[in-house]
């Protein structure tokens, strides 16, 4: 019973803490005059991935590398099949073809890079550093790409969002969100990992399986909340960008920082099936957006059915 309470408490803290962290970070960044684009690429991207980061580092340090890496891979699968699927079922979306090519290729390329570095069976500190540097390169490339759009007179992504007047002003509210959110995701990650390890030991399943299922879905709750909210507000393109950005941050940032903290052992199951599967899933997502037709409710249903099939395969 204790392990279930730990898991539930951890999930609740991750969700509430992640939401508070993102809200406080965005408010503070905009108050300081940072552009919406930069906020979206950095603050929101890192903020919604904070639960994955806290959980993966905690798992690695607790001697459960399967949970750490399974969380990264499983979260990306959940992002595409579950979160994007639900979003498209609520509101179909049309994607900018050029943006879909750029972001889709970068997302798939991130997965291929992770897979290549994992072939040796261990993602160590050197490999982790390579992943983090690749993330930095991704951010620089996207920022320059958006800057060139502005120079050509095209609207940059995110420029339609309201930007508060810059200035210092009172920031106690933002600081409260930031500190409270950070505390929530760190404590939530620790509770979730502790409960997940106990669950795996009790039922005799691998920590990798727990990472791919319960932990992955739980740490994806901020992305789910953001994407569904965007769909309800008839802004499904925000949900698409959220999924792409979160996937890149997970593959490069979360896996990289975790490996730099503690080397990650890659299980044969992950290497043989789950990592290739997540690359294939992301490639299908990019192809759907690239067609220019957008994603329909039918395609959303296909994504959800694929996730149900994947979960069945893992559990059965």
What is the H or E stretch that residue 242 is in?
helix 236-248
Two structure tokens written together for 98: 């050029």
DSSP string, 86-122: HHHHHS-B---HHHHHHHHHHHHHHHHHHHHHHTTSE
Q: According to the per-residue pLDDT averaged within each range, which of 20-34, 152-166, 193-207 is highest?
A: 193-207
Q: Is the pLDDT of residue 316 over 90?
A: no
**Residue 18 CB coordination number (10 Å):** 29
Spatial separation of the C-alpha atoms in residues 156 and 219, rounded to whole Å:
30
- Sequence-distant (6+) residues with CB within 8 A of 153 are none
Q: Is the pLDDT of residue 82 over 90?
A: yes
Q: Which residue matches tokens 């969380």?
A: 71
What 3-state DSSP class applies to 200?
Answer: helix
Sign of dihedral through CA atoms 156, 105, 93, 48?
A: negative
Spatial separation of the C-alpha atoms in residues 110 and 44, rounded to whole Å:
19
- For the chain, which domains are there? 2-154+174-315 (1.20.1420.30)
Characterize the bridge pairing of strands 264-265 and 122-123. Answer: antiparallel
What does the pLDDT look like over 241-277, one tens digit per residue? 778 888 999 999 999 999 999 999 999 999 999 999 9
Spatial separation of the C-alpha atoms in residues 245 and 298, rounded to whole Å:
24
Average the pLDDT over each of 165-169, 276-280, 298-302 and give the range with the smallest value.
Answer: 165-169
**Can you give the pTM of this predicted structure?**
0.80
């Amino acid at each position: 019973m204790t392990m279930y309470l730990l898991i539930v408490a951890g999930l609740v803290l991750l969700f509430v803490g992640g939401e508070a962290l993102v809200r406080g970070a965005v408010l503070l960044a905009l108050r300081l005059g940072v552009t919406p684009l930069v906020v979206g690429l950095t603050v929101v991207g890192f903020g919604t991935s904070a639960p994955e980061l806290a959980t993966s580092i905690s798992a690695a340090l607790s001697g459960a590398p399967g949970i750490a890496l399974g969380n990264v891979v499983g979260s990306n699968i959940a992002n595409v099949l579950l979160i994007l699927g639900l979003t498209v079922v609520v509101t179909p979306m049309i994607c900018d073809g050029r943006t879909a090519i750029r972001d889709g290729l970068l997302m798939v390329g991130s997965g291929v890079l992770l897979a290549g570095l994992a072939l040796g069976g261990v993602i160590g500190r050197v490999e982790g550093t390579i992943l983090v540097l690749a993330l930095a390169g991704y951010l620089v490339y996207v920022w320059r790409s958006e800057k060139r759009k502005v120079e050509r007179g095209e609207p940059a992504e995110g420029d339609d969002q309201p930007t508060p007047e810059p200035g210092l002003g009172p920031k106690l509210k933002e600081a409260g969100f930031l500190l409270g959110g950070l505390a929530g995701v760190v404590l939530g990650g620790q509770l979730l990992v502790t409960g997940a390890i106990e669950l795996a030991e009790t039922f005799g399943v691998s920590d990798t399986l727990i990472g791919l299922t319960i932990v992955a879905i739980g740490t994806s709750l901020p992305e789910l909340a953001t994407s569904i909210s965007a769909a309800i507000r008839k802004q499904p393109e925000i949900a698409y960008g959220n999924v792409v950005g979160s996937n890149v941050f997970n593959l490069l940032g979360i896996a990289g920082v975790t490996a730099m903290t503690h080397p990650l052992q890659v299980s044969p199951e992950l290497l043989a099936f789950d990592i290739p599967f997540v690359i294939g899933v992301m490639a299908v997502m990019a192809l759907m957006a690239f067609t220019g037709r957008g994603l329909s409710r039918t395609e959303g249903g296909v994504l959800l059915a694929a996730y149900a099939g994947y979960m069945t395969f893992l559990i059965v």
